[in-house]
Amino acid sequence: MPTCDAPCRSLSQHLMAFAPVSTWVHSAPISATPKTSSHRPLCRPPRSSALNMVMEKPMSPSSNVHWSKYHIESFDSLHTRLGIDKLWQQDVDTNQYNAGDESQKATALEETLDDIIVTGDELLSTQSVVPWDTTTGVQSLSYLGRQVHFLRKRQKMLKTSYDECRRITAVFSKTFYLGTTFLSPAKRAAIWAIYAWCRRTDDLVDGPRVQQRQDQLRTVLAEWEQRLIGIFNGRARDSLDLALVDAIDQNPNITISPFRDMIRGMLMDVDQSRFETFDDLYVYCYRVAGTVGLMTLPVMGTVKPGREGLREAMGPALALGIGLQLTNILRDVGEDRLRGRIYIPLEDLRRFNYTEEDLFNCVLDSRYRELMKFEIARARSYFKEARKGVQLLAEDSRLPVQTSLDMYSQILDVLEENGYDNFNRRAYVSKTQKLITLPVSYLRCRTSEAWKPIRITAEFLLGVNQITSL
């Protein structure tokens, strides 16, 4: 990954980026309307007779770009500049959510079960209440009888809640869901609960029913953050919340910081349609994808126990999230263009003498191909960093992570095979290729040198790109 050519921003310039969402409601500016209309005609592949009409301007010799020689910037220096290095400090706020009084959390959960909202409507204004029978025969029971009644009701509701989280994960992220099926039942249920919360958070901003104006979305996200604080204090407003409450209770090392940062990432989607530098894009990628790694890492578990093991695995976990999001951005350039959005840093466009207007007009020439090579090399550098962390995870958690890493890496391969045309052709990995990748991912999780020749042979026979750094 190349280092940002623009002067690094001071840490003080990024303080607002990590402030609570509630302080954003009236303080953050609403971005101006993009210069280019968001209503774009669909790009059509040019006819062969018109190929010579496409601009084929080579890069300027003075640009001094060597995309094949990139190396990833130190995580420590990058995170220090952006303020991400302070995420896992055991501050008072984090301890407040994870080390609260257990009796109060139990009381809050018992009260929650008596008045829980129906799932299926993500809007905060939902008022329908499940008609759970919480009174019949309970008053006449002894204290022990009431506790047994509560536990039975809780287990029944939790099963329904986790089943719904599983369904949401399976519907909206098939590749991710496939990876979770290799986890133990307890781990996969917690991951599904986390994913369902992430899905709902994204839908507040990007969902099909979103009609709120930008200022209203700020209020909705601020309310969502308060609801999140309630979840970490043991209070659920609906059954999907209840699953996350239980997952946090079963995995006490889960902290609230990455959840709050994801909400801030949604605010960036509200405010921004351009990213000037890679630093800006990195903060966005961390918030909307890197945070997922930090949310799920305590569930996955590490070889080294406790927070020390989590801190050791944090860098690779973040790298995987950043790599996944960069891959999504490169895959979806054409779709984002139709929404008037450009996620590729503008400094990168200038580096290759490529303009916003060129992108909106689907100009696919040597400049754009070199730009895509640059961005693909950057994404791959993060996947390379992420591979270092697979062996730091608990043994039963390695295969899902390795599988996700391998399958997403292949999207970049397909993008190259498509001639870097992400305007008219969507890069995706077929179901057959995913099934072929599974045994290779399994072999890559084996640490013994005895497995190495078997892995290399399988990669060759199945046509999967070999990775020499394992």
pLDDT tens-digit readout, 364-412: 999 999 999 999 999 999 999 999 999 999 998 999 899 888 888 999 9
**Percent share of the chain, pLDDT over 90:** 43
The answer to whether 377 and 68 are in contact (CB under 8 A) is yes
Angle among Cα 67, 73, 75 to the nearest 5 degrees reads 150
The answer to whether 128 and 118 are in contact (CB under 8 A) is yes
Distance (Å, whole) CA 147 – CA 133 = 15
Q: How far is CA 1 from CA 220, 292, 318, 339, 385, in A?
A: 36, 22, 15, 28, 11
Looking at 117-131, 341-355, 430-444, which range is the least confident one?
117-131
Taking the domains of the chain in order of start, what are their residue ranges? 87-116+145-261, 272-426
Instruction: Please say if the pLDDT value at position 130 is more than 50.
Output: no
Range 243-248, long-range pairs (CB < 8 A, 24+ positions): 243/158, 243/161, 243/162, 243/164, 243/165, 243/189, 243/192, 243/193, 243/196, 244/193, 244/194, 244/196, 244/197, 245/109, 245/112, 246/158, 246/161, 246/193, 247/189, 247/190, 247/193, 247/194, 247/299
CATH of domain 272-426: 1.10.600.10
Residues found in the chain: 470
Reported as a pLDDT band with limits 50, 70 and 90, residue 107 is low
The answer to whether 462 and 436 are in contact (CB under 8 A) is yes
Give this prediction's pTM.
Answer: 0.71
Take residue 270 and report the two structure tokens written for it.
Answer: 């509200």
Distance (Å, whole) CA 247 – CA 288 = 20
Q: Which residue has the higher pLDDT, 330 or 9?
A: 330
The whole-number pLDDT of residue 321 equals: 93
- 207-234 residue pLDDT tens: 654 555 666 888 889 999 999 999 999 9
The answer to whether 264 and 18 are in contact (CB under 8 A) is yes
Cα dihedral 176/310/377/74 (nearest 10): 160
Take residue 313 and report the two structure tokens written for it.
Answer: 């695995």
Looking at 77-86, 231-240, 301-310, 352-361, which range is the least confident one?
77-86
238 Cβ partners below 8 Å, 6+ apart?
116, 117, 118, 119, 126
Distance (Å, whole) CA 425 – CA 92 = 49
Kindly report the average pLDDT of the chain as a whole number: 74
**Percent share of the chain, pLDDT over 70:** 62
Q: Is the Cα dihedral 307, 311, 312, 313 positive or negative?
A: positive
